[in-house]
Amino acid sequence: MNGSKKLNNQFIGASQLSKMLFLFALGTAGLMVPTFVVAIAKQDAWISMAIAGPLNYIVLLLYLALAERFPGLTLAQYAEKLLGTWLGKALTLVYVCFFLLLSALVLRNIVDFLGLSVLPGTPNWVIAFTFMLVIVYGAYLGIETIARSGELLFGWTVLVIFIIMLLLTNQFEPKNFEPFVYEGWTRPFKGLYPILGFPLGEFVVMSAFFPFVKQADVGKLRKHLKLAAMFVGIFSVGISVLLLGVLGVDETRRSPFSIFDMAKTINVEDVIVRVEVTVAIVWVSTVFMKLMMSFYGATLLAAQMLNLKSYRPLIVPFTFVVVPLSIAVYRNSAHAEYFAMQIWTPFSLTIGVAIPMLLLLFAFITGKRTARSKGDMPVKASYEAPNDSPSGGKAQQSGAGQAGGATPS
Amino acid sequence: MFSDYMLSRGRKKTKKQEDREKELQQNQLGEYEQEPLLPVLADNIKLLQSEMGNSNDIVVRELALEGEGGFIKVAIIYVQGLVDEFRMNESIIQPMQSVPFQAGPDDPSRVQDELKNKIVAAGRVEEAKDWKKLFEGLFLGNALILLDGCNTALASSCVGGERRAVEEPKTETAIRGPREGFVEALRVNTALIRRKIRSPKLWMEQKTIGRETQTPVCIMYMKGLASEDTLQDLRDRLDAIDIDGILESSYIEELIADQKWTPFPTILNNERPDVIASNLLEGRIAILVDGTPFVLIVPTELNMFFQAAEDYYQRFDVATFLRLLRFFSYVLALVMPSVYVAVVGYHQEMIPTPLLLKLVAQREGVPFPVYLEAFIMELVFEILREAVVRMPTIVGNAISIVGGMVIGQSVVEAGIVSPPVVIVVAFTAITSFVSPTYNLGIAARLLRFLLLIAASTLGFYGISIVLLLLLLHLSNLRSLGMPYMKPFSPMFRKDWKDTLLRAPMWMMRERPQAIAVDNLVRADMDTKELEGQEPVQ
């Protein structure tokens, strides 16, 4: 009896959330950040990546602390509880705008990537709209479906990255790492700068998803997040080590999507050549998850801010915000690089880390918290129920009624 | 008379509903209501015959039997062809005629009791108190015994008539394994399952669905293994069905499906009793419908479609290999033409140079772009396939010769289509036949065209977009409330031993966690002990 109950409800598991986090962190960041980090830290970039690993976890703990203080509430809801209705709503608006901007940036990144690498002849807006089509469909289907598809994507992504890494080992050149910590330890720490904004500050999106974690899994959440952060750390170190070893500092620095260029060098016996399209497919799927999460977060928070019954009416309007914004947000790729390396870090750190920290501090001082309500979850009741209430039972009844005519009773 | 009765039932209804109901009444052939029988035998017979339009397969045999103080008027009514007439003679008519009744015509209910308890020599005798029950009994192949002066009838079972015998299932054959398959008769099918699971815990519930066809539908499950929630959900859904006829289990399948708009089958069907039995033992529920050998299983998961019965009758390593092969073939059947189009049309750099040169040379002089070529060939193949399926075997051979000769050879020789496309389409066709279940293959057939369109417009990006949509769609699907992508997502790692892999029997000690409620232990044996045993010399 319990078995099906557990499956039927609208919550996601802790492990599902941690897999989503993994895809989110590897999303655009895995594709673009190595370039920036290598630009600063040179051959010690992998050390910066290694330092960033624990930092990821610390930031996640901050959101987790807030989520534990206000169980079942998203950032929008506890901001209102803490700061009062109007100030809370104003803060939520900031976050909605941030999530929308983030969605636009992510969309722009993937559009740039695909436009430059695999579809040079296709207009950008076509790629943007087709990509958003998937996002809209996913957002419409709801959090549980998103989480489940994330779980499936996770396995696929890890497998493909692993295979690519294996295929590249024959070109690995250890000399590229020398000289080791040539200019002292300050350089790898400086290399942290882009990572702090991208993806670290963006993890604030997770605060929209913590309330969906099912009650039975809340206890395991910390462990799973730790695992996810560890995985992210290992993969980003692995990717940067491989980049430096295969491409070297200069080439990595020059290429806007270095992992893609790295995959171009794959050559196994002249049979498996130029398989970079598979890398493109992997990054389409990780970016898909990142965009999905930030877009869903934006619609969810906005719906809560506006006291709507469901977030679904906002999906289409927000699409028409995100797509034009993604086209307008950068002038060209040089501007994009400047933006990502210089501006984004303080911006996203303010919104992603500083404000939540202040909120937590404020909550500590005022001693505000909410008790975990048993059974019903506010988020579930108001936002996910309409999609698929435990089964198609009700829909079925009406469907069968139509098929056979009026019921004789 | 029944329509009058219907009209007299006053209920508050919206205008639309009323109109609809009226329309329905006019269309209905006869809505049997729970109205009692009339006391006079002749009236009953007359009414029955007029209700049935004097159809002459209804046989009314009137008898006058000797009783205490007079003759008792009795009528035996049955449908010719549904009843085993020889058996009926032996078990009903002969005993009635041979001994005089102890009760007389003035006390018909006592006569009836005597008939029921003493005289009629049939396994199952039921009392039909109203017209609805009476007709139900009649069409299920019972002989009805009506008495003068008595307003109930007896329905005595002597089902007979021509039916197909149990034979080897046509849709799923196994080299090793039981050879029997389900037939059209519900009772035979339930017996076939009972013969596999000889347990009092195998429970059965019967319903009648279909206003006109009155089709018996049976739910079978293992009490204590199947989830009560799922069962209740299934019952509710079956009760909600209101349709004039159920002619095949696919009607039920479509009507109780969770999501209606999907190319994927969310309910598995099978005609092998061993498959059904093994699913029942996992805690799933079987739905048997009279008139079809295809039994439904709920809840279904996607990976069940890649499992063949024989996987469990062959060694586990071979079975695992075959399962992976099937899964791989399915993916190929889905994406191969589109990947070919994407590679040749957009990403030529992926092809090693010697191969590319060959391809280009082959495509020399072909008038169509590659996507059109692929599309035409796919379409031609689908047409050929459909033509062969619907034709008798003799004509089918002719079609395959024409298809193979004309399309396979001439088209290439004439330079209209390049040989690689033919190879791709032909290989795709073969891969699509690897899947052990037919209806999952249909999903791939449809989606292949969608992927082909995506690949020809946006290359690999288009394919990945469609695959992502597909992923979301599959993650959203449910079968009777259970996620379709289980146990991959939501993840039940312990259940993976019987998904794409088939673990050895001694490792499958537990039932799938996602399905069975409690009572998880399937085989309680200590394998270590087995391994440690001394080999018998």
List pLDDT tens digits, range B213-245.
889 999 999 988 888 889 999 999 999 998 999
- pLDDT category, A127, cuts 50, 70, 90? very high
Cα–Cα distances in Å, from B452 out to A110, B334, B340, B343, B457? 23, 10, 9, 12, 9
Smallest Cβ–Cβ distance between B475 and the set A133, A145, A281 belongs to A145
Q: Domain check: are B333 and B449 in the same one?
A: yes
Residue numbers in B near A119 (CB within 8 A): 346, 458-459, 461
Q: Domain check: are B291 and B325 in the same one?
A: no
Residue A317 has pLDDT above 60, yes or no: yes
Q: Which of residues 303-332 of B touch A (CB under 8 A)?
A: none
Q: Domain check: are B474 and B338 in the same one?
A: yes
Mean pLDDT of B36-55: 86
Q: What is the set of domains in chain A, with CATH numbers?
A: 14-399 (1.20.1740.10)
Tell me how far apart the alpha carbons of residues A330 and A314 are, in angstroms, rounded to a whole number: 25
Determine the pLDDT at residue A377. 47
Q: Domain check: are B253 and B375 in the same one?
A: no
Beta-bridge partners for A268: A272
Task: Measure A275 CA to nearest chain B CA, in Å.
Answer: 6
Q: Which two tokens stand for residue A255?
A: 């290429």
Residue B251 lies in a domain: yes
Residue B484 has pLDDT above 80, yes or no: yes
Q: Domain check: are B329 and B461 in the same one?
A: yes
Residue B497 has pLDDT above 90, yes or no: no
Highest mean pLDDT among A102-106, A334-338, B66-70: A102-106
Q: Which of A277, A288, A398, A407 to mutate to test the interface with B (most CBs of B within 10 A)?
A: A277
Q: Is B170 helix (H, G, I), strand (E, B) or coil?
A: coil
Helix B353-363 and helix B419-432, axial crossing angle in degrees, nearest 10: 110
Cα–Cα distances in Å, from A102 out to A110, A166, A281? 12, 33, 21
Compare all CA atoms of chain A with the CA of B490 and give the residue at the minimum distance. Answer: A148
* Residue A390 forms contact with B (CB below 8 Å): yes
* Residue B481 forms contact with A (CB below 8 Å): yes
Tell me how far apart the alpha carbons of residues B222 and B282 are, in angstroms, rounded to a whole number: 9
Cα–Cα distances in Å, from B166 out to A222, A332, B178? 58, 72, 12
* Residue A134 forms contact with B (CB below 8 Å): yes
Q: Domain check: are B322 and B454 in the same one?
A: yes
Of B242, B276, B300, the domain-final residue:
B300
- Give the model confidence (pLDDT) of B141-199 as tens digits: 889 998 888 888 888 888 888 888 898 888 888 888 898 999 999 999 999 999 999 99
Residue A297 has pLDDT above 50, yes or no: yes
Please indicate whether, in this complex, the C-beta atoms of A1 and B227 are within 8 angstroms of each other: yes
* Residue B352 forms contact with A (CB below 8 Å): yes
Determine the pLDDT at residue B386. 85
Instruction: Write the burial class of residue B426 (CB in 10 Å: 0-12 exposed, 13-18 middle, 19+ buried).
Output: middle
Q: Domain check: are B153 and B127 in the same one?
A: yes
Q: Which of A135, A130, A289 is nearest to A202 (CA)?
A: A289
Residue B341 lies in a domain: yes
Residue B162 lies in a domain: no
Residue numbers in A near B258 (CB within 8 A): 388, 391-392
Supply the range of the domain harboring residue B96. 2-7+28-157
Q: Is B153 helix (H, G, I), strand (E, B) or coil?
A: strand
Please indicate whether, in this complex, the C-beta atoms of B481 and A4 are within 8 angstroms of each other: yes
Q: Which of residues 315-354 of A touch B (CB under 8 A)?
A: none
User: What is the side-by-side order of every strand in the sheet holding B285-289?
Assistant: B202-209, B215-222, B285-289, B295-298, B268-270
Q: Which of B489, B500, B515 to mutate to test the interface with A (most CBs of A within 10 A)?
A: B489
Reported in sequence order, the residue ranges of B263-325 that DSSP labels E, i.e. its strands, are: 268-270, 285-289, 295-298
Residue A296 has pLDDT above 50, yes or no: yes
Q: Domain check: are B330 and B447 in the same one?
A: yes
Tell me how far apart the alpha carbons of residues A19 and A28 are, in angstroms, rounded to a whole number: 16
Of B300, B334, B369, the domain-final residue:
B300
Task: Measure B477 CA to nearest chain A CA, in Å.
Answer: 9
Please indicate whether, in this complex, the C-beta atoms of A393 and B349 are within 8 angstroms of each other: no
Which phi-psi region, left, alpha or beta, contains residue B481 (left: φ > 0; alpha: ψ -120 to 50)? Answer: left
Q: Domain check: are B371 and B225 in the same one?
A: no
Residue B285 lies in a domain: yes
Compare all CA atoms of chain B with the CA of A155 and give the residue at the minimum distance. Answer: B488
Q: Domain check: are B405 and B467 in the same one?
A: yes
Residue B351 has pLDDT above 60, yes or no: yes
Q: Which of residues 206-265 of B touch A (CB under 8 A)?
A: 211, 227-230, 233, 236-237, 240-244, 255-260
Task: Measure A301 CA to nearest chain B CA, in Å.
Answer: 22
Residue numbers in B near A270 (CB within 8 A): 352
- Give the model confidence (pLDDT) of B108-127 as tens digits: 888 888 888 888 887 788 88
> One-letter amino acid identity for A198?
F
Q: Which of A116, A145, A212 to mutate to test the interface with B (most CBs of B within 10 A)?
A: A145
Task: Measure A277 CA to nearest chain B CA, in Å.
Answer: 7
* Residue A271 forms contact with B (CB below 8 Å): yes
Q: Domain check: are B443 and B324 in the same one?
A: yes
- pLDDT category, A314, cuts 50, 70, 90? very high
Q: Which of A214, A396, A397 to mutate to test the interface with B (most CBs of B within 10 A)?
A: A396
Determine the pLDDT at residue B518. 62
Give the ipTM: 0.86
Length, in residues, of chain A: 409
Residue A398 has pLDDT above 60, yes or no: no
pTM for the model: 0.86
Smallest Cβ–Cβ distance between A152 and the set B465, B481, B485 belongs to B485
Cα–Cα distances in Å, from A313 out to A131, A317, A383, B452, B499? 19, 8, 11, 32, 39
Residue A320 has pLDDT above 90, yes or no: yes
Q: Domain check: are B350 and B475 in the same one?
A: yes
Q: Which of A25, A36, A259 is nearest to A160 (CA)?
A: A259
Number of domains in chain B: 3
Within 13 Å and on the Cβ side, how many CA atoms surround A88? 19
Residue numbers in B near A133 (CB within 8 A): 465, 469
Determine the pLDDT at residue B524. 60
Please spell the DSSP secondary structure of B197-257, one letter per residue: ---TTEEEEEEEE-TTT-EEEEEEEETTTS-HHHHHHHHHHHHH---S---SHHHHHHHH-
